[in-house]
Structure 1
Amino acid sequence: MEYKDVLDTMTGEYNNLTKSGRKAADYIFAHRVEAQYMSITALAEECGVAEATISRFCRTLGFSGYNDFKLALAKASGAPAADDEVGIYGKVLPEDSITDMCKKLYATNVAAIGQTLAQIDEENVGRAVKYLSAAQRVYCFGQGGSLVIAMEAWARFITAAPQFQCIEDSHMQAMAAALSTPDDVILFFSYSGATKDMLDVLRPARRRGAKIILVTHFAKSPAAAMANVTLLCGSKEGPLQSGSVAAKMGLLFIIDVLFNEYCRTNPALTEANREATAGAISAKLL
């Protein structure tokens, strides 16, 4: 199916949809921009239907699944697919000067951090740091662009705490989760909170009793349902913006919050470890 036809297809198939399917279509017609940024769980709740209904709705329209449908919606006429418009600057345009482009990107990234700050929950941060402090091992996991963030979390924490590890391969992540214990913590980064590889890791970790700290944009997602603590990042990211820097800014801010609170909670240990790691690196400097 051509992506540009999705709205016309919804109109043409409307009378053939089930009652629940028409509820989904009605909501999407009225909120097609917002729907681009929703997880399947969030959309189902807004429509007042089951997630399975959304999946059937997408297949009825000829799509392989929900993500394929969201991509089509983003590309459809009347559904903006450019970067978020932020403040007085708006989206980046071909005719912009480099200075104008820089101002717009700056505004977008600052807004992402501001949105993340507004969603910081002190109780959840405290619980997360409590789990991290008590853990025998902390696995920093993610996939795709989120793996880069997981590696950044590991790189930040390894300066102060030796129990932090990062495994890049998704198969190895699943195996580590399958052997995890109640003394372990999975620190998982996933903007959507709804990927198959992620669930392949979190399900065995949950069965083994490991604590799960999820950093995501969506409070209502399959991963959030399995997490012991969920920390929310700001910045809307559409299906055509996967891996956007603005979304990463929000995730990096949360890493910094967790790291600094971890150091405040364990001052003697982290100070000694940071001095040791700094000394090890100083010898490598010219």
Structure 2
Amino acid sequence: MTGNILESITAQYHSLTRSGKKLADYIFAHTGEAQYFSISTLAENSGVSEASITRFCHGLGLAGYNDFKLALAKTDRVTDMGELSDSPQSIASDDSLNCIFQKIHQASVLSLNETLGLLDENTISQAVDLLVNADRVYCFGHGGSMVMAMEAWARFSTASSKFIQITDSHMQIMATALATEKDVILVFSYSGSTKDMESTLQTAKMHGVPVILITHYPNSRAAEFADVVLLCGYNEGPLQSGSIPAKVGQMLLIDCLFYGFCRKNPEATAAARSATAEAIAQKLL
């Protein structure tokens, strides 16, 4: 595919199937927001199947849905720094440093507020109970989400030794294959739609291993395998992959889980945190 994706859709419109035209009509009417959707969300909103969306993308000469989202994002006007210009937090090179600071702050506050608004006490309590009662907790993620998995592991490691973090996707699925229903997988996936993560979660389901998912998309593929789904705020577009504001919301969820975990056994966690702090103190000058 070359040129503008919307022009390509228009050129092929009359040769599309009924479901293809239905999808195209939806995309024309919702171009700005569609680029933020997971494939499951687009399928639900447009009224066509995920398989139809995949065929639609292939018909446009694209490798898959992620390529389609990227092409769709590029049809929108962007700043000279690659930021989507439809957001008041978009940054351009002619912004002063102070203006950039303000926009970054606004985006982070927006992420925190949206995540707080999505928090549900009962869902957090379910997740905390799983973490407290687990023999082992595996913290998984891929790409930018791996960073969040490491953040969770580092945070919980100050209070308990049962949290484990594995970076390699092959080792993740191997550990999952040997896990039991007494273990828990705490998985981070903003999109909830990655191949490696799907393979790991399918294995977890097969072995009855409980899964806690932190994602932005409640109807994502990963959510189908999760026992508990916690939602983070902030719409991250394809051109903003790995954005800090998206991570800020996830870090709020990590801390909510951490303090929920600690309050279940305050004496033990206080002793563990004191012990780890004393050990680290020896490393300081």
1:82 matched to which residue of 2? Answer: 83
- 1:32, 1:79 within 8 Å by CA — same for their partners in 2? no
Instruction: Tell me how large the CA RMSD over aligned residues is.
Output: 1.4
Task: Output aligned runs, 1:34-73, within 5 Å.
Answer: 34-73=33-72
- Distance in 2 (CA, whole Å) between partners of 1:83 and 1:100 is 17
Q: What is the rounded CA distance, in whole Å, between the counterparts of 1:167 and 1:277 in structure 2?
A: 21
- Per-residue CA deviations over 1:118-147 (Å, capped at 9, x if unaligned) read 000111100000000000000000000110
Aligned to 1:148: 147
Residues 79 and 60 of structure 1: CA distance in aligned 2, closer, same or farther (over 3 Å) = farther
The TM-score, its normalising length taken from structure 1, stands at 0.96
| 1:77 Cα deviation after fit | 4.8
2:4 is paired with a residue of what secondary structure? helix
- The question of whether the paired residues in 1 share the 8 Å contact of 2:77 and 2:84 is answered with no
Aligned-partner residue type, residue 64 of structure 2: G
Which residues of 2 match residues 195-214 of structure 1 at below 5 A?
Answer: 195-214=194-213
Counterpart CA distance in 1 for 2:58 and 2:119 is 37
Deviation, structure 1 residue 266: 1.8
Structure-1 separation of matches of 2:279 and 2:258:
20
Q: Contact between 2:84 and 2:90, CA under 8 Å: does it hold in 1?
A: yes
Equivalent pair of 2:89/2:104 in contact (CA under 8 Å):
no
Which SS does the other structure have where 1:162 is aligned?
A: coil
How far is the alpha carbon of 1:193 from its aligned partner?
Answer: 0.2
| C-alpha distance in structure 2 between counterparts of 1:17 and 1:163, whole Å | 53
Deviation at 1:283, TM superposition (A): 1.4
Residues 101 and 71 (structure 1), Cα distance of their counterparts in 2 relative to 1, 3 Å cut: same
Pairs aligned (count): 283
Alignment of 1:95-244 (within 5 A): 95-244=94-243
Change (3 A) 1:77 1:109: closer
Instruction: Mark the runs of 5 or more structure 1 residues left unpaired by the alignment.
Output: none
Distance 2:24 2:147 in 1: 36
Report what 2:274 is aligned to. Answer: 275
CA spacing shift, 1:77–1:119, aligned 2, 3 Å: closer
Show the counterpart of 1:249.
248
Change (3 A) 1:228 1:120: same
* Whole-angstrom CA distance in 2 between matches of 1:258 and 1:23: 42
Is residue 83–residue 92 contact of structure 2 (8 Å, CA) maintained in 1? no
CA contact 1:33–1:79 (8 Å) conserved in 2: no
1:141–1:167 contact (8 Å) kept in structure 2: yes
Partner Cα separation in structure 2 for residue 242 and residue 59 of structure 1 = 23
Give the structure 2 partner of residue 5 of structure 1.
4
Cα distance between partner residues in 1 of 2:217 and 2:45? 13
Listed as ranges, the gaps of 5+ residues in structure 2 are none
Does residue 26 of the first structure (1) align with residue 33 of the second (2)? no
Q: Secondary structure at the match of 1:240?
A: helix
* Identity among equivalent pairs (%): 53
Contact 1:146 1:190 in 2 (8 A): yes
Deviation at 1:230, TM superposition (A): 0.2
